[in-house]
């Protein structure tokens, strides 16, 4: 009997380890599948601008005897696609590095109010040129997180770039940075084209672009928000979207406040 119980135990342990290794393998398999999909989608996206550059340069070469001035249109097309290609490769590199955790994030005190003001200064004129009003709500001076200033700046740029891209003339964009006891909340609100309810959970996926966005031909690549999501999660935060088609979109980022930031404020308050 002891032998049978012992063998039963050993069999159970063996089954347990099979089960455990099966469970441990499936996330690896899933991640491998995701990588395969990513490489496939990326190659597809890289092929289009390359084909456009090649065909435009072919035209220039067959009309070479006409000189540069007569070929400007084709050369400009090739240049615009080369610019798109540069942006695409930069985004792909960022995501590939994020996947392999090769991108070390700096850990410094970052003042989000300063970034918001800087980005507002840089984008207000651009928005105005498209007849879009860009408002920055006053934020408190203790909107401090611990993280990587360059990446957080990139996060603001991605959200504002989209807000401008997907808002029509006469629209309005509002940027807010709010401080709660333990968090900093960044809110980017626009009165643009909006996102269908069913598509809202997909916008953070790599290469996703909604049909309405594609119709606008704004040259987006569908990678910005996946980079934004990576930046937010690398700072232990959350990003969410709330939108109504034809009415507007609000992106909300919640980040943990820098350690010491609210203790310092609490000390100030008890001093008063
Ligand atoms: P891109 O803008 O380059 O297409 P993103 O990853 O930044 O890629 O965004 C993915 C998709 O999410 C966009 O193609 C668009 O459909 C939708 N989207 C993002 N921001 C907005 C916004 N502010 N208003 C409406 N749609 C948006």
User: What digits encode the pLDDT tens for the residues 76-126?
Assistant: 999 988 988 898 888 888 888 887 776 678 899 999 999 999 999 999 999
- Ligand 1 mean position to 162 CA, how many Å? 6
Predicted confidence (pLDDT) per residue in 211-242, tens digit = 877 776 566 788 999 999 999 999 999 999 99
CA distance 157 to 265: 29
Read off the tokens for 194: 């909006």
User: 62 pLDDT exceeds 60?
Assistant: yes
Average pLDDT taken over every residue of the chain: 85
Report d(CA 106, CA 151) in Å as an integer: 9
ipTM over 0.85: yes
Closest residue by CA, ligand 1 atom 8: 222
SS3 86: helix
Give residue 41's pLDDT: 82
Pocket flag, ligand 1, residue 175 (CB < 6 Å): no
Cross-strand pairs, 192: none
| 40-54, 97-111, 146-160: range with highest mean pLDDT | 146-160
Average pLDDT on 231-257 reads: 97
Going by pLDDT thresholds of 50, 70 and 90, the confidence category of residue 32 is confident
Quote the pLDDT of residue 269: 39
Highest mean pLDDT among 5-14, 15-24, 67-76: 67-76
User: Is the Cβ atom of 223 under 6 angstroms away from ligand 1?
Assistant: yes
pLDDT at 11: 45
Structure tokens at 1: 């009997």
**Which pLDDT tens digit goes with each residue over 180-202?**
999 999 999 999 999 999 999 99
Nearest CA to ligand 1 atom 19: 162
* Span of 33-37, 157-161, 208-212, 234-238 with lowest mean pLDDT: 33-37
pLDDT of residue 99: 79
Tell whether ligand 1 has an atom less than 6 A from the beta carbon of residue 195: yes
Query: Quick check: pTM over 0.80?
Result: no
Instruction: Using the CB atoms, write b or e for 172-209: b if 16+ within 10 Å.
Output: bbbbbbebeeebbbbbbbbbbbbbeeebbeebbebeeb
pLDDT band at 29 (very low <50, low <70, confident <90, very high): confident
Highest mean pLDDT among 25-39, 45-59, 256-270: 45-59
CA of 142 to the centre of ligand 1 (A): 30
Q: Quick one: 104 exposed, middle or buried, by C-beta within 10 A (0-12, 13-18, 19+)?
A: exposed
Instruction: List, in sequence order, the alpha helices (H) in the chain.
Output: 2-62, 72-99, 112-129, 149-165, 211-215, 224-234, 261-271
Quote the ligand 1 centre to 141 CA distance (angstroms): 30
213 lines ligand 1 (CB under 6 A): yes
What span, in angstroms and rounded, lies between the C-alpha atoms of 249 and 191? 7
DSSP state of 38: H
Name which of 84, 83, 105 is nearest 94 in CA terms.
Answer: 105
Higher pLDDT, 12 or 66: 66
SS3 for 92-153, per residue? HHHHHHHHCCCCCCCCEEEEHHHHHHHHHHHHHHHHHHCCCEEEECCCCCCCEEEECHHHHH
Measured distance CA(199)–CA(209) in Å, rounded: 9
Placement of tokens 């109504």 in the chain:
244
Q: Compute the distance between CA of residue 248 and CA of residue 57 in angstroms, rounded to an integer.
A: 41
Q: What is the pLDDT of residue 64?
A: 84
Collapsed DSSP state (helix, strand, coil) of residue 77 = helix
Residue 116 Cβ inside 6 Å of ligand 1? The answer reads no
pLDDT at 5 over 80: no
Averaged over 8-12, what is the pLDDT? 50
Burial class (CB in 10 A: 0-12, 13-18, 19+), 85: middle
Q: How far is the CA of 270 from the centre of ligand 1 (A)?
A: 45
pLDDT the model gives residue 95: 87
pLDDT at res. 271: 40
């Amino acid at each position: 009997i002891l032998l049978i119980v012992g063998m039963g135990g050993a069999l159970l342990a063996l089954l347990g380890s099979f089960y455990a290794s099966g469970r441990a393998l499936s996330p690896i398999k899933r991640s491998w599948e995701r990588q395969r999909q990513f490489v496939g989608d990326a190659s597809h996206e890289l092929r289009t601008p390359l084909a456009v550059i090649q065909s435009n340069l072919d035209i220039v070469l067959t009309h070479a005897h006409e000189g540069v001035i007569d070929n400007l249109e084709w050369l400009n097309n090739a240049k615009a696609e080369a610019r798109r290609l540069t942006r695409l490769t930069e985004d792909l590199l960022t995501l590939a590095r994020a996947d392999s955790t090769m991108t070390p994030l700096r850990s410094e005190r970052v003042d989000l109010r300063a970034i918001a003001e800087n980005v507002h200064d840089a984008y207000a004129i651009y928005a105005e040129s498209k007849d879009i009003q860009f408002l920055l709500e006053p934020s408190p001076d203790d909107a401090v997180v611990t993280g990587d200033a360059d990446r957080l700046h990139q996060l603001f740029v991605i959200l504002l770039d989209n807000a401008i891209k997907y808002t029509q003339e006469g629209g309005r964009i509002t940027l807010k940075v709010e401080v709660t006891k333990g968090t900093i909340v960044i809110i980017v609100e626009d009165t643009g084209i909006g996102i269908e309810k069913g598509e809202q959970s997909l916008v953070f996926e790599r290469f996703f672009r909604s049909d309405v966005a594609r119709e606008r031909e704004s040259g987006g690549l569908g990678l910005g928000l996946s980079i934004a999501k990576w930046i937010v999660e690398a700072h232990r935060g959350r990003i969410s979207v709330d939108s109504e088609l034809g009415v507007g979109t609000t992106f909300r980022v919640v980040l943990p406040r820098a350690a010491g930031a609210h203790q310092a404020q609490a000390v100030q308050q008890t001093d008063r």
